[in-house]
Amino acid sequence: MIPERFLEPLEFAANELKGLLRAENEEDVRLVQKGLMLFRQGLVYQLRFEGDKVSATVQDVTPAKVELDLEFIHLSECSCPAEGFCRHQTAVFLQLLSKARSVSMWIEEWRKPIKEKQTAKNWGLQKAKDLLKSSGQMKADYDRWIASFDESFTELMEKQGEPRPYVLPELFHVYLRRMKAGAPVEQEWKLLYLLIGYVFSFKKLMALSRKYGHGEELIDRYYRHLYQSLMEDSAQIMNKLSVHSLPFAFDQFIEKLKDDSAGLINGSFGMEYERTHLYRLLWTHFFKKKEWREAEIERLESFVKEEANMPSVAGYVHLQILERNDEQALRVLNVPNVLMTPYMLYWLDYFSANKDWNRMGPYAEAFIHKLRDYLKEIDDYYACMDFTRMSIKAISPYCLESSKMDLYEKALMETLPYSYNDYEYLLFEKGEFMKWADLQAFIGFDLDSLGKDRIREISKKEPSILLPLFHQSITGHINMKNRDHYREAVRKMKKLRTLYNKLKRQEDWQLFLELLLEKTKRLRAFQEECKRGKLIDA
């Protein structure tokens, strides 16, 4: 017998599973059939009720350990490698259900929608999502696709009211599975269908986040990856479609997608970079008609004047760049606004990919001019390191191709200290040892961390450059005021004395030593270490 406290959750799970597993989906039908077979063969055993969950073992080719969560059936777990709800979980669910009600009746209820659909089909009464299943054999329709996506999203994501944030990824995975199951058979139409579905899903997820007041922090914690995945999958499909010329039959679909894509950058909402990136990809690869771009520029002009939101401003600049209106684009970019800085990486990569070096110059300069102020806005050290790395990578092709190494060096200076490694290497390779020494003094690295090969080479070529670094290191060790650091300071002083002798500046060394000993006369331990090191007489 099943404990009474499990009866209500079991009934809830039975209804949820009807939506999770679709009788219209062949893959789900096979899954239920396999689970039913395992259950009827008596291969489910060790059924246990633990807390608010049910566990069991299913004897398959290898035994599978199953744990059912009746409150959130899609969060159930199985030890098998299958993704999502598997045949073992289905078998355990049916075993549990058999202890409370008829399994055959649940199977009939689960199959009811497909029977109704068949009846409707016989009478010519099909819904948009039903027509979608036969899209491989009939003419594709944008509005039917959107209606089907919308119906599936609402049914799965908001059927029980406000979904809990931590459940959203699982629900969304089920929704995407259902959406992909309705894709046309032809490869090109399938890619277009998926692209439209991803853009729609991105907007629909935005609307859901807005509706339930999910802020950036909550989205970051639970489901930001859903937005990023939709953006990346869309980019992959666009790359595949852009390899070949698109059929004329796509024109109407692309125009409707263009109109719908406006919602990506409208309104105040988080996920600003993801929204903007998807919008820019669409206008770069698909919405290429001049009249479309001019109309969109006109629509966005009011947003730019009011600086309503960053995605709209970035979208306006992007369209001006695509239309080669560089003066208008740079007029916006040259306004002091550090928040625009990360958006500029895309345009620098765009110019590099097209080898459009003449146009890239002013954009690279505007970008470099914003770098220092933008890095000050970022609190996270590692985020600053990552952004610096991307920035240097973005401008490097232009600087190399156009022989603008002075601009490259300026970018390295603007991004210090995060660009230290690149800048240190550049200066040393160019033999600009004075600048190299100034960089070390600015960063505050001790001589021991600079590498013996570096010190050795400079001491051969321009030993005088090392003098201030030794002075700085000696002062640093003395200021630590302990015996170990005093000993290290004395070792450095001996090397410094050798440098002064090499430069034939013994008087300068003597003056430095006298002043230092006078300044530290109260530091008895340091004075003793100087005597022990034979820098002064015992």
The pLDDT of residue 452 is above 90:
no
Residue 419 is classified by DSSP as T
- Percent of the chain past pLDDT 90, that is, above it, reads 25
Comparing CA positions, the residue from 41, 40, 39 lying closest to residue 66 is 39
pLDDT confidence of 532, banded at 50, 70, 90?
A: confident
Amino acid at 295: A
Amino acid at 456: R
For position 390, what pLDDT does the model report? 94
pLDDT confidence of 1, banded at 50, 70, 90?
A: low
Phi, psi of 58 (to 5 degrees): -115, 125
417 upstream amide cis, omega within 30 of 0: yes
Q: Please list, in sequence order, all residues whose beta carbon lies within 8 angstroms of the beta carbon of residue 401, skipping any fewer than 6 positions away.
A: 355, 357
The pLDDT of residue 138 is above 50:
no
Beta strands (DSSP E) in 455-510 are: none
The C-alpha atoms of residue 109 and residue 415 are separated, in whole angstroms, by 64
The pLDDT of residue 116 is above 60:
no
pLDDT digits (tens, 9 = 90+) for 153-170: 888 887 767 788 888 888
Average pLDDT, the chain: 84
pLDDT confidence of 120, banded at 50, 70, 90?
A: very low
The pLDDT of residue 445 is above 80:
no
How large is the average pLDDT for residues 307-316? 82
Count CA within 13 A, CB hemisphere, residue 171. 24
For position 449, what pLDDT does the model report? 67
pLDDT digits (tens, 9 = 90+) for 427-441: 888 888 888 888 877
For position 9, what pLDDT does the model report? 83
For position 271, what pLDDT does the model report? 80
The pLDDT of residue 246 is above 50:
yes
For position 308, what pLDDT does the model report? 62
For position 113, what pLDDT does the model report? 66
Asked if 523 contacts 531 with a C-beta cutoff of 8 angstroms, the reply is: no
Comparing CA positions, the residue from 18, 96, 13, 9 lying closest to residue 55 is 96
Helix (H, G, I), strand (E, B) or coil at 63: coil
Question: Higher pLDDT residue, 222 or 449?
Answer: 222
pLDDT digits (tens, 9 = 90+) for 323-373: 999 999 999 888 878 888 999 999 999 999 999 999 999 999 999 999 999
Q: What burial class does residue 538 get, using C-beta atoms within 10 Å of its C-beta: 0-12 exposed, 13-18 middle, 19+ buried? A: exposed
- Percent of the chain past pLDDT 70, that is, above it, reads 92
How large is the average pLDDT for residues 374-397? 92
Question: Higher pLDDT residue, 404 or 536?
Answer: 404
Asked if 441 contacts 468 with a C-beta cutoff of 8 angstroms, the reply is: yes
Measured CA to CA in angstroms, residue 152 lies from 96, 129, 147, 176 at distances of 28, 9, 9, 9
For position 230, what pLDDT does the model report? 92
Phi, psi of 57 (to 5 degrees): -120, 140
For position 122, what pLDDT does the model report? 45
Comparing CA positions, the residue from 329, 334, 333, 201 lying closest to residue 274 is 201
How large is the average pLDDT for residues 29-43? 86
The pLDDT of residue 195 is above 90:
yes
The C-alpha atoms of residue 246 and residue 192 are separated, in whole angstroms, by 10
pLDDT confidence of 133, banded at 50, 70, 90?
A: very low
Amino acid at 510: Q
Asked if 420 contacts 438 with a C-beta cutoff of 8 angstroms, the reply is: no
The pLDDT of residue 121 is above 50:
no
Amino acid at 95: Q
The pLDDT of residue 132 is above 60:
no
pTM: predicted TM-score of the whole model, two decimal places: 0.67
